[in-house]
Amino acid sequence: EDQVTQSPEALRLQEGESSSLNCSYTVSGLRGLFWYRQDPGKGPEFLFTLYSAGEEKEKERLKATLTKKESFLHITAPKPEDSATYLCAVQEGSNYKLTFGKGTLLTVNP
Amino acid sequence: ETGVTQSPTHLIKTRGQQVTLRCSSQSGHNTVSWYQQALGQGPQFIFQYYREEENGRGNFPPRFSGLQFPNYSSELNVNALELDDSALYLCASSFPGSDEQYFGPGTRLTVT
């Protein structure tokens, strides 16, 4: 069974203090790894899809990387508006189902 | 703005009742998936519909059922509601051939 573990569960940063979120996964035949951002009471917002080890994608202050066992979401010089829960999900083989981790709650203080 | 809408926004039901939640996808999104998200947890896959047929199901009992219509709308029906069914229900849709799923804002269901 696919498993996704995210760490830390919660992270509090000062504005401008860079850090990384971790997503470890176990899946037989990774089709894709996805990062989403979720604000309280809202649906997840798509950020990135990564398909193979070594792949990197960037968007504003966020950069996602992928290895064979984990993915990192690097946040450079975060701002208070980056505060949200960041969710990681995997998709296996020909199955379109997404298996999510519990998320990391990021708080960026001004 | 994903173009995926859900209704209602919030709903309160009593244990044992039945509920229908609705989702409207973007035109051309022929795949829709439904997820249940309990407080403090990641979304859990309920089932997926492709071209109006169920195309995969997660570990949810048969009292969770769905429909997909030709106009890119879909429904999630839950019978015999239980207290543990209280959650945020999300639908997500995809373009043909795309792996990326775009989520709606969700329906918050409270069962008392």
What pLDDT digit, counting tens, does each position of B39-87 carry? Answer: 999 999 999 998 889 989 999 999 999 999 988 899 999 999 999 999 9
CA distances from A71 to A1, A6, A96 (A): 19, 9, 20
For A40, the 3-state DSSP assignment is coil
Mean pLDDT, residues A90-106: 90
> Is residue B3 within 8 angstroms of chain A, CB to CB?
no
Q: How confident is the model at residue B6 (pLDDT cuts 50, 70, 90)?
A: very high
Q: Is B35 exposed, middle or buried (CB count within 10 Å of its CB: 0-12, 13-18, 19+)? A: buried
Q: Please tell me the distance in Å from A39's CA to the nearest CA on chain B.
A: 10
Contacts of B98 (CB under 8 A, 6+ apart): none
Contact A38, A45 (CB under 8 A): yes
pLDDT score recorded for residue B1: 64
Residue B2 has pLDDT above 80, yes or no: no
pLDDT score recorded for residue A87: 98
- Cβ contact (<8 Å) for B42 and A100? yes
Show residues of chain B in contact with A98, CB under 8 Å: 33, 35, 43, 45, 92, 101
- Residue in chain A closest to B35 (alpha carbons) equals A98
- Cβ contact (<8 Å) for B105 and A91? no
pLDDT score recorded for residue A92: 86
Q: Please tell me the distance in Å from A97's CA to the nearest CA on chain B.
A: 7
CA distance A40 to B65: 27
> Is residue B60 within 8 angstroms of chain A, CB to CB?
no
Contact A56, A64 (CB under 8 A): yes
Helical segments of B15-109, H only: none
Among candidates A43, A91, A95 on the partner chain, residue whose Cβ is nearest the Cβ of B106: A43
Among candidates A32, A46, A99 on the partner chain, residue whose Cβ is nearest the Cβ of B102: A46
